[in-house]
Amino acid sequence: MLMVIFGAGASYDSDPSNQPTRSGAKDPNRPPLANELFDDRPQFRTELARFPQCAPLVPRLRHPPAGVTIEQVLEQHRDESDSPVNPDRERVKQLAAVQFYLQAAIERCSTAWDASTNGITNYATLLDDIRHFGNRCPTLVTFNYDLLLEGALRRLTGWVPDNIGQYVDGGPGTLVKLRGSVDWGRVVYGMQPDTQGDPDQIATGLIQNAAALELTEDYRLVHTRSPVEQDGTQMLFPAIAIPFQNKTRFACPPEHIQALTRRLEQTTHVLVIGWRALDRTFSALLRRHLPTQPKMQIICGPADGEAVQTALRQAGVRAEIQILERTFSSYVLSRAGHEFLAEAGRVG
């Protein structure tokens, strides 16, 4: 059985006609890598203005010290928010605002990117190759908040989920979004929605009361940019996991993790695209539930392969690893993965 793991690098290089350049010029609509989540882009500035509570964190997130990742910077703020000695309750509000910001900024960015590609993406071509080689029900795991993978599935298969459960049951495969999604929300326990209120004012109220909110494990699809469910029955908080390095909390229903665990135990081939293997919580799942020595093909940029392999080894993941130092576009356009996908299809 085939599993594909998508990291931020997959969405970043998802348009083969508009690949990232080495010149330093950046497309303002390109889905960001982790270290670009708070870039000074026009549309990002617009969303930051809506959630000013996270503004004090932005300078450090834009300019982390040499050798420090944005995940580590965010984790430092998280540690300060729940320090057993001197907890900073204002940090709780700031990090809640970050979740609202990420939901809004990535939704805006990925919508523009999807419109510009008109659905012609590496995601669509890879999924078609997976189908072609007989992998009828792959497991797709993504760390991306955007909807580009769902868009490719929709265009290829007509799949449009009516509820969160259909991501892992009854679709063309099993799709697990470990860090949540721009169109997901978690029901806030005990809060009556204000269906007449301004969405930004409602969001501000949730941010100000973040420390006291009780978020349930009831996940709903969000069809608007409002914190109120479309039918007006529930108050929703963004189902977006802030990217910490060591203390990652998944932002998907427990049922999705259970489905993922079952699928991991049957997996024989793992394709990794644009994931740096820094999420230790997920790496622990791989260590515990992958069969011994599955075949793993890692697609990454030049000089990144060793770092990814080392991170997996240090996490205790045992696999027969092949590193292809290619971009997502190069991998798809060159058909470099066809032998691997064909073998997975024969085994599955």
Calpha distance 315→145 (Å, rounded): 24
Supply the pLDDT for residue 195. Answer: 63
Kindly write down the DSSP assignment for every residue of 52-77, as one continuous string.
Answer: GGGGGGHHHHHSPPTT--HHHHHHHH
Q: Tens of pLDDT along 157-210?
A: 999 998 899 999 877 889 999 999 999 999 999 877 766 678 888 889 999 999
Query: Number of structural domains, the chain?
Result: 1
Q: Tens of pLDDT along 8-47?
A: 999 999 999 999 876 556 889 999 999 999 999 998 999 9
At 340, list the tokens: 């691997």
Domain boundaries, position 227: 1-348
Buried residues in 78-97 as b, exposed as e (16+ CB within 10 A) = bebbeeeeeeeeebbbbbbb
Give the neighbor-by-neighbor strand order of the sheet with 180-188: 215-221, 180-188, 236-240
Confidence of residue 123 (pLDDT cuts 50, 70, 90): very high
Q: Tens of pLDDT along 249-283?
A: 899 999 999 999 999 999 999 999 999 888 888 98
Give the position of tokens 């991991």. Answer: 264
State the average pLDDT for the chain.
90
